[in-house]
Structure 1
Amino acid sequence: MKNAARLPLFVLAVSVAALAFALTAEYGFGLKPCVLCLVQRVPFVLAGLAAGLVLALPRLGRWVMPLVVLTFLVNSGIAVYHVGVEQKWWASSCSGSAGQALDVTDLAAMMSKPAEAQCDEPAWQWHGITMAALNVPFSAGLGLMVLAALLRRKDGR
């Protein structure tokens, strides 16, 4: 395998692993994802697709891999926002505590729909650390690792 293929292969493998972890938590352990949890999966899909594209067409790597860096860093920002919603630092439209008045017809309509996970109620936590909180350093670290690898290539190392 050529050195140039290692970085996109790494990104593809990590993206698939992150998505597999999320799907295992959802379907294997019954942890219902909220809207923000689902949004945090999208950058992994995009990064995986971008890495696959670079593996198929290596000449695109120069333009596509910096977008992968941006994708991971944006995902870290989304995770920071999600942690803020979980900690109730700010409200979100998918929070259980939206604070809006409901009449009887609204309440009846809500009761007829299946329960949706609320963004401010983590499906899982360990000593206060949630999956969104774990995603902050994970995505930021991935973005910085890919950036460092790209900068090393430009230096010729």
Structure 2
Amino acid sequence: MDGLSKARLLALLIPAGLLGGAYISQYGFGLYPCEMCWWQRYPHFAAIPLALASYAVRPARVWVALAGLAIITSGLIGGFHAGVEYGWWEGITGCSKLPGEIDVMDVSAAPLVRCDVAPWDLFGISLAGWNFLISCLGGAAVVALAAYKK
């Protein structure tokens, strides 16, 4: 398998696998996404059709590289979100406000899921942190393989 074939496969499997894991955790285990979790999903939604386009539209390397950049974008959003969860910096949305800062009369301001609290972690790394690691490393591999010519 050449570099482009590997890149195409990774560009499909990484976002599909991470989105699949997100939906399994959401519907199978009740870990509902916060606003920043959704932000991480959007680039993965874009990466899949970009990767599929690489099979039908030339030049394939460009489509694969764009998919890889979308995957990296999701990872960077995940890194920011993980930093909010770990308390390294403040979030930029209403879902990271403290309960005392929310106007109880304004139901629309009350978040359903907090962005600054990790609902689950593995080895001390939250889901957003895992997305950061997998997406940044995997996306970089996709871009590198797409750029590599025999």
Q: TM-score range by the shorter chain?
A: 0.7 to 0.9
CA contact (8 A) 1:5 1:55 kept: no
Q: Secondary structure at the match of 1:83?
A: helix
Larger Rg belongs to: 1
Contact between 1:84 and 1:90, CA under 8 Å: does it hold in 2? yes
Counterpart in 2 of 1:144?
140
Confirm or deny that 1:109 pairs with 2:110.
Answer: no
1:91 and 1:98 in contact (8 A); partners too: no
1:17 match: 17
Q: Which runs of 5+ in 1 are unaligned?
A: none
Q: 1:11-90 alignment to 2 at 5 Å?
A: 11-57=11-57, 59-90=58-89
Determine helix, strand or coil for the equivalent of 1:117: coil
Q: After the TM superposition, which parts of structure 1 deviate over 4 Å for at least 4 consecutive aligned residues? A: 1-6, 112-115
Change (3 A) 1:89 1:99: farther
Kindly provide the CA deviation profile for residues 83-135 of structure 1, in whole angstroms up to 9, marking residues without a partner as x: 111012222222032874x5xxx41332x888511100112123432111111
TM-superposed CA distance for 1:2, in Å, is 8.2
The RMSD of aligned alpha carbons is 2.6
Per the TM alignment, residue 45 of structure 1 is displaced from its structure 2 partner at its CA by 1.2
Letter in 1 for 2:98: S
Unpaired runs of 5+ residues, structure 2, are none
**Over residues 45-68 of structure 1, what are the superposed CA-to-partner deviations in whole Å (9 max), with x where a residue is unaligned?**
1111101111122x1323222222
Percent identity between the two aligned chains: 31
**Contact 2:3 2:148 (8 Å CA) reproduced:** no
Q: Give the AA of the match of 1:108.
A: M
Residues in 1 aligned to 2:69 and 2:131: alpha-carbon distance in whole angstroms: 15
Amino acid at match of 1:32: Y
Say whether the 8 Å CA contact 1:69–1:147 is kept in structure 2. Answer: yes
Q: Which one has more relative contact order, counting CA pairs under 8 Å at least 6 apart?
A: 2
